[in-house]
Amino acid sequence: MRPGRLLLIDKPVGPTSHDAVSAVRRALGLRRAGHCGTLDPAASGLLLVLVGEATRLAEVFAGHEKVYRGRVRFGLATDTDDAQGREIARLADADFQVAPAALDAALAALAARRSQRPPGFSAIKREGVPLYKLARAGRLDAASLPERPVRVGPILPLAFDGRELELEITCSAGTYVRALARDLGELVGVPAHLAALRRLASGPFRVEQALPLDALRPGAVGEAPGLSPAEALASLPAVVAAAGYAERLRFGAQPGAGDLAWQEPLPPPGAWLRVLSPAQELLGLAQVEAAGDSPRLALRRQLGAE
């Protein structure tokens, strides 16, 4: 297969994200591969896997907004905030009742939050050590962890029987849905954990487009599975390089005044843009450094046309 592809993988419950990437490497006979956005072993759904030269684009795809379907179980809390952890609190079904009005208020409060306390059992590092290692060693007070910026919402309740809530959540990259389940329990005054999770979407990509992981047996995939960089990045807004700059860009030259043209207003600083040739070939990626009256773009990646 040609180098530089984005594969959409439907990861089942059980394997780690690293296991999924290893399966891709074996099936395609490649050494360079990596995923964008970890899924816990207990979670299933869409996993973006970059192979070959496309691994240089991980930063672009990792920041995608995500959509999940989850199931929250009330009456039981765990130290990992999901069904894999050690039980730390339990109420008998007869000892609690979650009123629909209280649940609606709690969901609205969660959707308005812009920060989150991460789970103690997570890969976030403190002084170079993953938190889960500190938690396993009993050297972590998870309740004292500082909050991290996130964006949550909308949260759509799909079904609720008084004990379990099925919901669909849209959230920013870096949001822990199991921590949302924990916080939902705290808001209604009942211990809770995330019983199941499936990622439905990452940016413009949907799990319905994905290839099941077990279809990646060696020799079972086609010559060029997945999406080329041009196809994978097609949803990004574009700027067009002037003919002279299109040639200089190939040598890594940064754009100057008049080198790039666009019709729509620029997105906010930090946003990624495709840089196209006058013939609409994908030449590279730029990032907005300043918008408004004094726009400024910086070339971040060079991408030769396939």
For the residues of 118-160, what is the DSSP string, one character each?
PPSSSS-EETTEEHHHHHHTT---GGGPPPEE--EEEEEEEEE
Q: Give whole-number Cα distances, 117 to 65, 77, 136, 144, 163, in Å.
A: 19, 16, 18, 9, 24
Identify the segments of the chain with pLDDT beneath 50. Answer: 1, 305-306
The pLDDT score that the predictor gives to residue 219 is 58
- Given a contact cutoff of 8 angstroms between Cβ atoms, the answer to whether 192 and 184 are in contact is yes
The pLDDT score that the predictor gives to residue 1 is 43
Question: What are the pLDDT digits (tens) for 223-278?
Answer: 557 899 999 999 999 999 998 999 899 888 999 988 999 988 899 999 999 999 99
The pLDDT score that the predictor gives to residue 161 is 92
- Given a contact cutoff of 8 angstroms between Cβ atoms, the answer to whether 183 and 71 are in contact is no
Which residues form the catalytic set? 40
Enumerate domains of the chain plus CATH numbers: 5-64+204-229 (3.30.2350.10), 66-196 (3.30.2350.10), 236-302 (2.30.130.10)
The pLDDT score that the predictor gives to residue 4 is 83
Cα–Cα distance between 129 and 144 in angstroms, integer?
17
Strand partners, 116: 148
Cα–Cα distance between 165 and 161 in angstroms, integer?
7
- Given a contact cutoff of 8 angstroms between Cβ atoms, the answer to whether 168 and 176 are in contact is no
Residue 164: Cβ-neighbour burial (10 angstroms; 0-12, 13-18, 19+): middle
The pLDDT score that the predictor gives to residue 265 is 87
